[in-house]
Amino acid sequence: MSLRPLALQALCLADPEAKADAALDLHARLTAGALAIDPAERLTEPAPPQRLPGRPERPRLVEPAEVPRRSPFSAAGRAALLHAVCHIEFNAINLALDAVWRFPDLPADYYRDWLQVAAEEATHFRLLRAHLRTLGCDYGDHEAHDGLWRMTEATREDFIARMALVPRTLEARGLDATPPMQARLRQAGDLAAVAILDIILRDEVGHVAIGNHWYRWACERAGLDPVTLYPQLVERYRAPRAKPPFNLEARRRAGFSAQELDALG
């Protein structure tokens, strides 16, 4: 059995629990030596009407500006806030599986790294969904936006841009946003949510570090300077710019250089 076609199959699954199961199962099988990795295998996207990624009918997707601001100081507001994070984690499973199947001819460690990310994102999704249910809510009950997947789609043919702009740009924003969110949830008395976000923050440092590693590896292979290339990619793909406050300690642990941190302003 070969990993990358199975990752594509998992990406096509619409049911969130089935997708989480598949990501965790693939990771367990690869770790146990029950799956091969064939970097040279050429794969193609499924034909219409299948569209990537597979996703449930709900949540309804809207533009980012249409998603209302969420306060954690009521049960309903807290549920809406955590639903947004849960949706991010579901999309993060998709982007990790896409990274596994889409890009050929890379080192085997690349595929291992991104499958690990997919499995950890599946765990995050399940932790958040279980907590949502204690608040009388479930995944799909609130509207959500699709910003993370849109950038994944935009960089489908540019491996360097994918590594630059998804893990080390969009996911890195989570490193900055999580501590302030935890502070508000702690004030609201939701210590269970704070503990879940501790797990997510710990793992996301590793995910951003994986993005940093493979971005720099790809730049070195192509003879490009990663620091000077990065703002060009941000401009080319209209990626969102990082906004303060920045979690500089987490970004350092994720592998950002002093020069890159200084450039944040």
pLDDT computed for residue 68 by the predictor: 77
Residue whose token pair is 């080390």: 168
Q: Count Cβ atoms below 10 Å from residue 129 Cβ, excluding itself.
A: 21
Q: Each residue of 190-225: pLDDT tens digit?
A: 999 999 999 999 999 999 999 999 999 999 999 999
Cβ atoms of residues 81 and 70 within 8 Å: yes
For the chain, the structural domain boundaries read 3-39+67-263
pLDDT tens digits in sequence order for the chain, 265 residues long:
899 999 999 999 999 999 999 999 999 999 999 999 999 999 999 877 778 999 999 999 888 877 877 888 988 999 999 999 999 999 999 999 999 999 999 999 999 999 999 999 999 999 999 999 999 999 999 999 988 899 999 999 999 999 999 999 999 999 999 999 999 999 999 999 999 999 999 999 999 999 999 999 999 999 999 999 999 999 999 999 888 999 999 999 999 999 999 999 7
d(CA 45, CA 183): 42
Q: Would you say domain 3-39+67-263 falls under CATH 3.40.50.300?
A: no
Q: Each residue of 92-105: pLDDT tens digit?
A: 999 999 999 999 99
Give the distance from CA 144 to its chain's centroid.
15
Task: List, as one string, the DSSP characters of the chain.
Answer: -BHHHHHHHHHH--SHHHHHHHHHHHHHHHHTT-SB--TT----PPPTT--SSP--S-SPB--GGGSPP--SSSHHHHHHHHHHHHHHHHHHHHHHHHHHHH--S--HHHHHHHHHHHHHHHHHHHHHHHHHHHTT--TTSS-B--HHHHHHHHTTT-HHHHHHHIIIIIIHHHHHHHHHHHHHHHHTT-HHHHHHHHHHHHHHHHHHHHHHHHHHHHHHHHT--HHHHHHHHHHHHTPPPP-SSP-HHHHHHTT--HHHHHHT-
255 vs 15, 44, 68, 86, 214, CA distance in Å? Answer: 34, 33, 33, 25, 11
Query: Global pTM?
Result: 0.96
